Amino acid sequence: MCWEIVSAIGSLLSGLGIIVAIVAYLLSKKKFEVDIDFKRKENAIQIAERYTSMINSITFITVLYQEFRKKTANINFGTAPVRKYIETHKVEQLLFNKKEYDQIYGKDKDIFSEILDIVDKDKTLFLEIYTMFHDDDAAVIKKLTDNIAKIGDKTSEEYFEFSRIWSKFQCIPMDTLNEIEAICMSFNCKIADEMIVFKSLHQTLLDLILLMFPVIAIRNKSSARKYFTHTIELYNRWNGMYKENFRLEQSIEKEKEEQKKNIEKSASEKATKLEHELTKTPKIKQK
């Protein structure tokens, strides 16, 4: 009898031990998930700050291309030609490859190199825009602007100073793309919570990636050796999310408009009915 009691108690304690172990595991798992979620949100905030630090370079690229686009009608640069291609061909997802590049800009046409050639020919405007975003070189740029003719002399100090700035400028687009690729990798691999950043930065990031389309696409001649894959993946996903949100907003607005029309129609019908009732001539009963 005593042995049976001891055995029962042992079984009970063993069962309780298993339950305690399961509860401890579930609590530990929950804590881990909460910690991971918190870390992903924290990483997203850090990425947003990192993106903000890139705004200077992004704005410089945008302004520079806009200014030099005014100087020629031959270069079809910016987001407009890509958007036109998307709309014309009903493209849901861009491949960012050489085939798309050729369809948009034409074969054997290096848009970015053409932009660089135009920039190189108008050094005064280039330096003027450059100094707006790079205060650290302000004194040197002023000296170069004042002695613009000396830049052509390969033995002059001005030539070497301009070459240094020119080299820095040529690195900006690719450095910016590499930064974007690292940011997109963090979101694609779920290291950071993309929804936190999507809500506030999706428009500027999507526009920037689209602006850099020719720089990316011209390099992607083969799907086996593709560059900036995380950037392409994130662009297509976020663009899809943006379109879905836009369609939802339009649907809500349409529904609100329909409700407004129905309310106005109902109010108008009630007013007409009331007016009809008030203007009705009462019948006089005959004796």
Region of residue 34 (phi > 0: left; psi between -120 and 50: alpha; otherwise: beta): alpha
pLDDT at residue 5 is higher than 70: no
**Helices 2-53 and 55-69: angle between axes, nearest 10 degrees:** 40
* The pLDDT of residue 63: 78
Q: What is the pLDDT of residue 2?
A: 58
Statement: the pTM of the whole predicted model exceeds 0.85: no
Whether 234 is in a domain gets the answer yes
**76 C-beta neighbours (distance < 10 Å), count:** 17
List pLDDT tens digits, range 140-191.
Answer: 888 998 999 898 898 999 999 999 988 888 888 889 999 999 999 999 999 9
Residue 73 has pLDDT above 70, yes or no: no
The pLDDT score that the predictor gives to residue 6 is: 47
Whether 97 is in a domain gets the answer: yes
1 versus 177: which is more confidently predicted? 177
- pLDDT, the chain, mean: 81
- Measured distance CA(110)–CA(126) in Å, rounded: 20
Asked whether the predicted pLDDT for residue 32 surpasses 50, the reply is no
Q: Which of 42-51, 52-61, 69-78 has the lowest mean pLDDT?
A: 69-78
**The pLDDT of residue 220:** 94
Per the structure, the complete domain to which residue 219 belongs is given by 49-249
pLDDT in tens, 78-100: 788 899 999 999 999 999 999 99
The C-alpha angle 128, 131, 135, rounded to 5 degrees, equals 165
Q: What is the mean pLDDT of residues 40-66?
A: 82
Which has more confidence, 185 or 122? 185
pLDDT in tens, 209-243: 998 999 999 999 987 889 999 999 999 999 999 99
To the nearest whole percent, how much of the chain has pLDDT over 90? Answer: 28
Residue 223 belongs to some domain of the structure:
yes
Residue 103 binned pLDDT confidence (cut-offs 50, 70, 90): very high
**87 assigned to some structural domain:** yes
- Residue whose pair of structure tokens reads 């019908």 in the numeric block: 269
Mean pLDDT of 36-47: 86
Count of domains forming the chain: 1
Instruction: Name the token pair of 154.
Output: 């390969």
